[in-house]
Amino acid sequence: MSKFSLSLMVALLSAWMLLGTDTVPVFGQEGDAPAASAKKSVKKKSTKKKKSTKKKAAKPADEDEKADAEDKADVKKKAAADEPAEEKAEEKAEEKAEEKAEEEKEAAVEESLVQEAEQEVEEGPSDEEKQEAEEVLSDDKDNEDAPAEETPAPTRRVRRSKLNDPGSEAGEERTVTVNRIKYTFRWCPAGTFLMGSPDDEPGHVPAEKQHEVKISKGFWMLETEVTQEMYQSVMEKNPSYFAPEGFGAKAIRVDGKPMDTKKFPVDRVRFADAEAFCEAFSEIAGGKFTLPTEAQWEYACRAGTTGAYYTGEAVGRKDANYNLPGKEGNLDRTAAVGEFNPNPWGLRDMMGNVSEWCSDWFDETYYENSPASDPKGPESGSSHVIRGGNWNSVPYYCRSATRNYQTTTYTFGHNLDGFRIVLVPGDDQVPEEVAETEKEE
């Protein structure tokens, strides 16, 4: 071994001892290559000692450079990872600050609007504002009144009562149901009769001057007087005196209990009330229902008879509800319709029970100048005709020709007065193309 080699080995051992490593370097064959490797290893150990004391083994130079690059990349990644977190925190703080500022701004605006509104309420609208509002309302009203050009009016389907068809013979019965209540009508055909009474008839008065009258159109007449349940179902009230809640409730009590008066004729009805019923009933039933004219009423009452009564020259207790003072059999009240004998055309209670309104104005001299065909009474007056007598009438007031009247000025109806209705086929004014024939029986 040369002196140079020995010196080199001593230097390396000294360096190894100084570094304090437990790893003993491995040397190959003698020559320059192992010596060069040793130098590099020593240099590497010295370099790594400065960076970290945890590294114990020597590495080649290229691996050291790679490790340095990886360390630098780790530092950059960590910095990059920490940087967004800090930025997000800052952005979140900025957003919260902006939201708070926006809320404060909205609160300030709202408070300002409230103050302005309160001030406007206190001060009220100005004259200019009032004028503008009036102009807007006027424009709206003009638009509402303007007819719709593009939208066609819907076709109105009207219920057409089967009573709009005429009957085939006198007294023919036809029933319709309205508001779940059955109404039975009788056919009164066209014809001619003597209206009024002869001079020698008991009870005759000059206002009953006998004369011939023609009824040119047949009509349907309600078989009975309008009952309390009929009136209630259409008008939603019952004005009757003889009803459980009426002023005459005591008169209809039996064994301390009130009678069922649904089938009793409605009473205490004014002329205007009877007309209102006809109008409302017509709308529901689908026909033109009216009060009978005085001529129609007497024609139907007589039903082809010529005597004082349709029963002949006298009337009995089974024929009508009337009053004979001091005699037995007086009810002193109304009675259920249909309990007494009918006339030849099937009509009931044409005598007694309640007096019945007619559409005519009353004039005691009207018969002297009345038309020979379909008379309708005077054009004006202060009272309307009532016919048939009532529960408080003596028999001769129940005659077919008896004329009576009632003024239209009193406030409340009388417990003696009621009515019945008629319909003349062809006068219903319901267009055939939009009519629906009633199917109810």
Give the pLDDT of residue 230.
98
Give the pLDDT of residue 200.
96
Structure tokens at 429: 């004014």
Give the pLDDT of residue 229.
98
Give the pLDDT of residue 96.
75
Q: How far is Cα 125 from Cα 239, in angstroms, rounded to an integer?
A: 51
Give the pLDDT of residue 408.
81
- The predicted model scores a pTM of 0.64
Model confidence pLDDT, tens digit, residues 225-238: 999 999 999 999 99
Nearest to 206 by CA among 382, 13, 365: 365
Give the pLDDT of residue 165.
94
User: Mean pLDDT per segment of 10 residues, for the chain of length 441 residues?
Assistant: 57 55 40 39 40 41 54 55 58 75 69 58 54 51 50 47 92 96 98 98 96 98 98 97 96 93 97 97 95 98 98 96 94 97 98 98 97 97 97 96 89 88 80 40 38
The position carrying tokens 């926006």 is 102
Q: How far is Cα 13 from Cα 5, in angstroms, rounded to an integer?
A: 12
Phi, psi values for residue 404, rounded to 5°: -140, 175
The three-state secondary structure class of 413 is coil
Structure tokens at 292: 């009978």
Q: How far is Cα 352 from Cα 348, in angstroms, rounded to an integer?
A: 10
Give the pLDDT of residue 104.
75
Under 8 Å between Cβ of 221 and 300: yes
Q: How far is Cα 386 from Cα 382, in angstroms, rounded to an integer?
A: 13
Q: How far is Cα 245 from Cα 230, in angstroms, rounded to an integer?
A: 17
Give the pLDDT of residue 39.
39
Q: Give me the torsion for CA of 302, 308, 309, 315, rounded to 10°.
A: 180
Give the pLDDT of residue 213.
98
Q: Say how many C-beta atoms besides its own lie within 10 A of residue 173's C-beta.
A: 13
